[in-house]
Amino acid sequence: MPDRYKTILLFGAPGAGKGTQGNILGTIPGFFHMSCGDVFRTIDISSDLGKAFYDYSSRGELVPDELTVKMWAKNIAARVTLGEYKPKDDLLILDGIPRTVEQSKLMDEHIDVFKVIHLTCDDEKEMFKRLRRRALKSNRIDDADEEVIRRRWKVYEKETYPVLEHYNRGDIVSINSIGSPAQILHDILETVVPIQNAHFKAFEG
Ligand code: ADP
């Protein structure tokens, strides 16, 4: 499978900071960040897919696997066509996908995963605090309701956490997600920069 996208996965519970770190990385030349939740949120809410996304996400549930991966594959192909993402020059930073073991199997056809960055957190209260802050700032229906947040946590533990077993243990890097964004970014870059140097030529002098 020679043409798969060279990828780093940002992995972790809701509120672990995948989006924050992904957004920062995405501003650095040579990285292309894509958040599955953000892609879903750009879909017209009156379309069939938009309605399905609204229904599932407002309950704190996952959109079905095949639908998600198809939507994702279509979106990334469009980004390549538009020239926003250049697979030959950019390391792909994915957050929010794969989110189930089935999705990780379906995604194997599309992505070559070099490392999985697991943003860990043993302070559940801090994660809830972050999600509530995000609800106030970004008007997200799925963050506003305590019950929905709790459901997302359960879904994460049951459906998403087992995704780690799909990848080689040696490719999983755990990083503590409690700390300053700069510290966490520093820790992520320690893993990611050597991969960029090894696989992309664009930044050679
Ligand atoms: P968070 O990381 O806080 O859970 P996201 O923005 O990643 O939030 O996702 C918001 C919602 O979008 C999820 O709760 C789910 O309903 C839907 N979603 C996002 N990514 C996926 C995915 N890979 N598979 C299924 N549903 C998804």
| Spatial CA neighbour of 109 closest among 16, 2, 4 | 4
Q: Does residue 7 have its Cβ closer than 6 Å to ligand 1?
A: no
**CA–CA separation, 94 and 124 (whole Å):** 24
**CA–CA separation, 141 and 148 (whole Å):** 9
**CA–CA separation, 136 and 133 (whole Å):** 5
Q: What is the pLDDT along the chain (205 residues), one digit of tens a residue?
A: 568 999 999 999 988 999 999 999 999 999 999 999 999 999 998 999 999 999 999 898 999 999 999 999 999 999 999 999 999 999 999 999 999 999 999 999 999 999 999 999 887 788 778 887 877 777 666 666 788 888 888 999 999 999 999 999 999 999 999 989 999 999 999 999 999 999 887 666 5
Q: Does residue 153 have its Cβ closer than 6 Å to ligand 1?
A: no
Domains and CATH numbers, the chain: 11-197 (3.40.50.300)
**CA–CA separation, 7 and 26 (whole Å):** 13
Q: Does residue 57 have its Cβ closer than 6 Å to ligand 1?
A: yes
According to DSSP, the residues that pair with 113 across neighbouring strands are 7
Compute, in angstroms, the gap from residue 76 CA to the centroid of ligand 1: 17
**pTM score, two decimals?**
0.91
Supply the pLDDT for residue 147: 84
**CA–CA separation, 93 and 116 (whole Å):** 10
